Amino acid sequence: MCDTLLALGHAMLHDMKRIERVRLYPTARQDEALRLMLDVTRQLYNALLQERRDAYRYNRVTVTTRMQYGELTALRSEDARLKAVYRECEDAVLHRLDLAMQAFFQRLRRGEVPGYPRFKSWQRWEQLEFPHGDRALRLDEYQRRVRVPGVGAVLLRKGRRVPASYGRVWLVRKLGRWYACFECERAMQPLPSTGHTVGIDRGVHVLAALSDGRLIGNAAVGERRRAATKRLQRELEAMTVRDSAGHAINRKDPRRQRAQLRLARSKAREANARRDYAHKVSRQIVDGADVIALEKLALRAMTRSAKGSVEHPGRNVAAKAGLNRRLLDSGFGLLRQMIVAKAEEAARTVVEVDARFSSQTCSRCGHVARESRRRRRFGCVSCGFANHADVNAALVIRWRAQLALQSELDPAEDAGPCSQDAAA
């Protein structure tokens, strides 16, 4: 019944790993230095990948990480640009390439489309990694500046205080802005017990229906901003010159790049609004229940395209594309991620159960019938129980979670099919 049980109770207090992101405000000189580091590490990645590919293609020789590590040490003594970049950043580039190669061979073993690691263009390389961040980057006493090797003290926006001890650090350039991401550990802060268990059914019309009868609406940020997004897309297309194959040939045109940046920042504002709403909804849910039951959803399968192939075209492609757009706009996965993170911090318990037939199962008698579901209303054809369809599904999810928890505590004991307050 229970596919995943995330036991986050008071008995398992531990430190949590979190990523704290802060905005950086480098000067023009510092921005130029950071861009230089990006360019050097990108060229290093491409050179390392080229060496591995050519060695195997022409000589059937496998170049290992240890071999390239030694070569990198020798190159730093000869190349001033490589020597100017902090060594651990370059080691992180080598590790990143090694992970890409490992993933490639794993896909080969699984029989998937392998996708050989690709060379990185300047548009696809916007991250500097410091594996030992607390050794390389230093925050001042008031956390208003961070000292970056080879760059200097960079001004940052003060927000949530970063712990004194932190692990890896990434400097990320996104849409022309710089951010620092600190990997750190924080202590759990258990919330007072409420004695409640809540089941949650996620949907498109209603983002979250709770087993206590509450309905949390869907913000539908993408749908509300759809007209503005299409307008920016038309502006970008109007400034794009394409060849006979349909490829853009004026990618470096300043006017086109500005239009591209406007569209990207619009999509970023959309994502930020969706994330902010998920934060607020998840906080409301976690504060009100000790045990939170979620259905286990295969989001990748749910949002798979219906296009098909030329030989076997799909059906209702436009309708499925619209449904996929609404599903992705709802942020099911983001809401689940927020609930799990906040539940861990508050020492709550999250249980994920099988979602099959939850919308067709009566939460009072357990009878399963497709005829019981009528759009957004549920009326059991067996016992006559009636409720909002999503609330009934949330009650079923809660009941399944209670069975799972009960079987964990006492495998010999089994509960009946009915929820205790299904008529609520």
Per-residue pLDDT of the chain (424 residues; tens, 9 = 90+): 444 455 444 445 667 888 899 999 999 999 999 999 999 999 999 999 999 999 999 999 999 999 999 999 999 999 999 999 999 999 999 999 999 999 999 999 999 888 999 999 988 999 999 999 888 999 998 999 999 999 999 999 877 788 888 889 999 999 989 999 999 888 888 999 999 999 999 988 889 999 999 999 998 899 999 999 999 999 999 999 998 888 888 888 999 999 999 999 999 999 999 999 999 999 999 999 999 999 998 888 888 888 877 677 778 788 888 888 888 888 888 999 999 999 998 989 999 998 888 888 998 888 999 999 888 899 999 888 999 999 999 999 999 999 888 887 666 555 455 444 443 3
- Find out whether 422 and 385 touch, Cβ atoms under 8 Å: yes
Distances (CA, A) of 108 to 51, 113, 135, 212, 244: 21, 7, 38, 48, 34
Q: CB 33: neighbour CB atoms within 10 A?
A: 19
Euclidean distance between CA atoms 351 and 276, whole angstroms: 24
Q: What is the pTM of this model?
A: 0.82
- Every domain of the chain and the residues it spans: 15-187, 192-218+274-355
Q: Tell me which residue of 338, 344, 355, 303 sits closest to 324, measured CA to CA.
A: 303
| Side-chain half-sphere CA neighbours of 297 within 13 A | 22
Euclidean distance between CA atoms 342 and 289, whole angstroms: 12
**Topology, domain 192-218+274-355:** Nucleotidyltransferase; domain 5 (3.30.420)
Euclidean distance between CA atoms 169 and 19, whole angstroms: 9
Euclidean distance between CA atoms 19 and 218, whole angstroms: 27
Euclidean distance between CA atoms 98 and 106, whole angstroms: 12
Q: Give CA angle at 116 (115, 122), nearest 5°.
A: 105
Q: What's the burial of 44, exposed, middle or buried (CB within 10 Å: 0-12/13-18/19+)?
A: buried
